[in-house]
Chains A and B, each alone.
Chain A
Amino acid sequence: MDLIWEGIKEAIRLLLTLDREVLSITLLSLALSGLATLVSLVLGVSTGVVLALNRFPGKRLVISLVNTGMGLPPVVVGLFVSMLLWRNGPLGMLHLLYTPMAIVIAQAVIATPIIAGLSLAALQQLPSNLRLQILTLGASRRQMIWMLIKEARLPLLAAIMAGFGGVISEVGASIMVGGNIKGSTRVLTTATVMETSKGNFDMAIALSVILLLLAFTVNAALTHIQQRRRPR
């Protein structure tokens, strides 16, 4: 019991004094997962739009693949991205393995299907004639797509948060492709794993609390938006 209590007290001290290392790990986590989410946003929403607005053979299969991808295990992504970026691998010449960029790539691979699947669902839940209604008001196809995205903005926001929540909390891929290098690829989750294995529970608890706070903030924002949208 003492161990846990001491750990919590030390964690509070680390948080309140804004410990340099804790702060830098937190900011790096936010930056890498934020960038990965941004990349996934572009790729995922585009995929969602293409799937929602077009009819083509094999569409159902593609949607099933995207939906499966929403539950992609981070370790599997870590394995494949590692192999791709390995020195002798197909993208080895880029020398990206064990760099922050490798984490961004792996996390984008994890978040893209999540955002694609949820944005497809968001667009499909719009009335089916809305697309035609916008066109008949004089919109070009591009304007129509932009207006549909704006109409689905609230569920799309939820998709972004789900994507971000998925990557900020994953550890498998980050540790495999990033290597948990201090000051370079050490993020909240990989640091927590390391500190726990070293028996530094105070640090591990401090990092976990920050992670939980981030998760809470994301969920609170999501809930706020959901509640703001009153039913028609």
Chain B
Amino acid sequence: MNTLGPVLLEAENLEVYRGETLALQLPKWTLRAGEIMGLIGPNGAGKSTLLLYMAGLLDPAKGHLSFDGTILQSTSDFAAYRQRVTLVFQEPLLLDTTVEQNIGVGLRLRGIPKAERKVRIKESAERFGVAHLLTRHARELSGGEAQRTSLARACAVKPQILLLDEPFSSLDPPTREALQQDLGRMLRDTGCTAILATHDLMEAACFADSLAVLRAGRVVQCGPVGEVVNHPVDEFVANFVGMETLLVGVVRGCESGLFTLQVGNQEIAGTGDATLGQELTVGVRPENVTLSLHPEGETSARNCFPGRVTLITSRGPFLRVELDCGFFLCAYVTGRSKEELGLAVGCPVFASFKATAVHLIRK
């Protein structure tokens, strides 16, 4: 996590249209120096529009952008701004020339002399593991090598803000992971400010200091990663950040930061400030729910409910188990625990989770 500096980029009353449709609306939005912001949201939510706008490539219909305390107005303001910000697209978009020329293109456009250009090309190529490919032609690269070159090209100009539009989404998992690590190291080393758009929450969570959730061109929630993941403001965000179980109930008791919520016939214990009689929505992340064949008396889980398995689906390395405990509950288990528990649809099981795993969703 980088230490955050002063506000670097600020948008106010911003409205951006793509064609006839209002694609982005930002009443107030800030990015601090050194901050890495994850931008998540479904397709068409405006992630790309936001990045294109922040890259100085789109005209707003209303509102303005200020960089380092100065409002950008004229075309030349934006031209100067574009020299400090670089956007990396999902496709590598390399030029039809060598890797070396590709990485150096931003430097050449800035009129940097050849000797310095060579040093910086080499430095950036090494950072992204393409130093051995410098003389290779862009057409002869694999997908991963091409995207590495694209990132090296963006970083060679040492941008003050690096904008990344789903740069890993077209790569296969091992390539993606290796590249994510290299990018993460580079961001940590340089303290570069960045925005990373992705539809993969885990990817955003492992890079970012803060998360902004976009929906239909608006930022629904923006805050530190932990806060957004654990305290989504609404059901849309909760769903998007993987909080699959959402329960609505009435507060029946509360004392010293602990509350009980009546959901159907059951009472759920949770932590947080609540008032008696209040209607609340709470969320439980599926990875925080443990399944067992007997009620677990000795664990610290305050919530333990008998239930019945209603659905089992595969989630890559995990299995997603839906339960009916008098209310809907979702849990992730490993394939091994499924075998051990003999889970099958219709099976009776006990589901337990800690009170701290019950997250209050503010309305």
Residues of A within 8 A of B (CB): 127, 129-130, 132-133, 135-140, 143, 147, 150-151, 153, 230, 232
Contacts and interface: CB of A to CB of B under 8 A. Distances in A.
Contacts, number: 49
A129 B89 contact: yes
Contact of A232 (B110, B139, B157): B139
B309 interface: no
B52 A137 contact: no
Contact of A147 (B57, B79, B95): B95
A181 B106 CA distance: 55
Contact of B87 (A133, A151, A153): A133
Contact of A137 (B96, B105, B163): B105
B87 A138 contact: no
A133 B153 CA distance: 11
B287 interface: no
Nearest to A136: B87
Contacts of B290: none
Residue of B52, B86, B93, B157 contacting most chain A CB atoms (<10 Å)? B93
A143 B79 CA distance: 12
Interface in B95-118: 95-96, 105-106, 109-110
Contacts of B87: 132-133, 136
Contacts of B105: 137
B299 to A, nearest CB: 52
A49 to B, nearest CB: 17
Contacts of A138: 82-83, 86, 106, 109-110, 157
B95 A127 contact: no
A136 B57 CA distance: 7
A213 B84 CA distance: 54
Contact of B57 (A130, A135, A140, A232): A135
Contacts of B153: 137
Contacts of B91: 127, 129
A136 B85 contact: yes
B55 interface: yes
B106 A137 contact: yes
Contact of B157 (A137, A143, A150, A230): A137
Nearest to A140: B79
Nearest to A147: B95
A151 B96 contact: yes
A153 to B, nearest CB: 8
A130 B87 CA distance: 11
Interface residues of B, number: 24
A184 B56 CA distance: 56
Contacts of A150: 95-96
Report which residue of B85, B86, B96 has the largest number of chain A beta carbons within 10 angstroms of its beta carbon: B96
A136 B139 contact: no
The 7 closest A-B pairs by CB, nearest first: A137-B106, A133-B93, A136-B87, A138-B109, A138-B83, A136-B55, A232-B139
A85 to B, nearest CB: 42
A136 B109 contact: no
A147 B85 CA distance: 19
A133 B89 contact: yes
Contacts of A135: 57, 82
12 contacts: A130-B93, A136-B56, A136-B57, A136-B85, A136-B86, A137-B86, A137-B153, A137-B154, A138-B83, A138-B106, A138-B110, A150-B96
B57 A132 contact: yes
Contacts of B93: 127, 129-130, 133
Contacts of B55: 132, 136
Given A135-B82, A136-B86, A143 B139 contact: no
Nearest to A152: B96
A230 to B, nearest CB: 7
A137 B108 CA distance: 10
Contacts of B96: 150-151, 153
A170 B109 CA distance: 43
Nearest to A130: B93
Nearest to B165: A129
Interface in B68-98: 79, 82-83, 85-87, 89, 91, 93, 95-96
A130 B85 CA distance: 16
* Residue among A127, A136, A151 with most chain B CB within 10 A: A136
Given A132-B57, A133-B93, A136-B86, A143 B109 contact: yes
Give the most central of B79, B109, B157: most A CB within 10 Å. B109
Nearest to B57: A132
Nearest to A131: B57
A130 B83 CA distance: 17
